Structure 1
Amino acid sequence: MRLTVKILQGSECSVNVSESSKVCEVKACVEQALNVPVSSQRLVYKGKTLSAEELGVSDGGKIHLMVKKGEGVTGVPPAPGSSHTPASAPALDFFMQLDSFLGKHLTQEQTDKVVNEFRKNCQLMVDSMNFEDIERFAASNCTKF
């Protein structure tokens, strides 16, 4: 059976797998086609993360690939006490600009607290978004949630 795997606002590929294929086999095909390590892949079909052994996707189905942040991804160093690493240079620019702006009005300790709290709140918002929310947010040029 033929499946389409698409990265949000990115490339896509088609993979051929048998109907009895497991999720791990599809991830291995995606790794070869899109050069995304299996450990960094989260496959979503009809709004649900594929994590069980059985694939449960029909022939011609479209699977969305969410790339997890982590090893090998460059970006902002984690905030002190933070367990996540934002994965893009624009995030680095934004948080650096926020830090710079707040630094003109607050002490460094206050600035650090505000920036870290803002980072945490942004991450919570992103973590709560489903695929449709992400598509809508991206389509609005990241202006409407």
Structure 2
Amino acid sequence: MQITIKLLKGQDFSLDVEPNTLISDMKKEIERRLQIPLAEQKLLLLGRTLKDESTVSAYPNIHEGCKLNLVVMRPRIEGLREILKKSFGKYYNEPQADNLVTAFMIDFEMNLKQMSVDDIERLSESLIGV
């Protein structure tokens, strides 16, 4: 069956898969075609991450003509937690900075989980000026 892979930047491309195709094999094909390393790929269906060890048939919503979203996760040079800790560390002692970072991350992750893929795409586009 043929499915469509949609990248965040609006590019689409088709991929032929069988029910027994592993998600990891789909990612290998994406790596081959687009030169996006496996470790940086996250495939989503209806906002949920597909597991590498699962087959296409494990997801009943994957059918002929369906669209999967590909999110490219670039490796972080420095994580958000470390950046926040440095910033808060300028104004607060270490235990206070740690508590602020923890509270911020809990709030950030909760808000991020409430966003749809479309919300994230619009936010990304607005931030990079597309």
Common fold by TM > 0.5:
yes
Task: Name the structure 2 match of 1:80.
Answer: none
Task: Name the structure 1 match of 2:30.
Answer: 34
Contact in 2 for aligned 1:41/1:66 (Cα 8 Å)? yes
Contact in 1 for aligned 2:43/2:70 (Cα 8 Å)? yes
TM-score by length of 2: 0.62
1:13 CA drift (Å)? 4.5
Task: Name the structure 1 match of 2:2.
Answer: 2
What are the ranges of 5 or more consecutive residues in structure 1 without an aligned counterpart?
A: 75-87
Contact in 2 for aligned 1:7/1:65 (Cα 8 Å)? yes
Query: Residues 135 and 53 (structure 1 numbering): CA distance in 2 closer, same or farther, change over 3 Å?
Result: closer
Greater percentage in helix: 2
Task: Name the structure 1 match of 2:100.
Answer: 114
Aligned alpha-carbon RMSD (Å): 3.4
Aligned residue identity for 2:4: T
1:15 CA drift (Å)? 1.1
1:31 CA drift (Å)? 2.2
Greater relative CO, 1 or 2 (CA 8 Å, sep 6+): 2
Contact in 2 for aligned 1:13/1:33 (Cα 8 Å)? no
Q: Does 1:135 align with 2:118?
A: no
Deviating above 6 A after TM superposition, structure 1's stretches of 4 or more consecutive aligned residues are none
Determine what percentage of the aligned residue pairs are the same residue.
Answer: 22
Task: Name the structure 1 match of 2:86.
Answer: 100
Match of 2:91, SS state, is: coil
1:57 CA drift (Å)? 2.9
What are the ranges of 5 or more consecutive residues in structure 2 without an aligned counterpart?
A: 32-37, 51-57
TM-score by length of 1: 0.57
What is the rounded CA distance, in whole Å, between the counterparts of 2:82 and 2:115 in structure 1?
Answer: 25
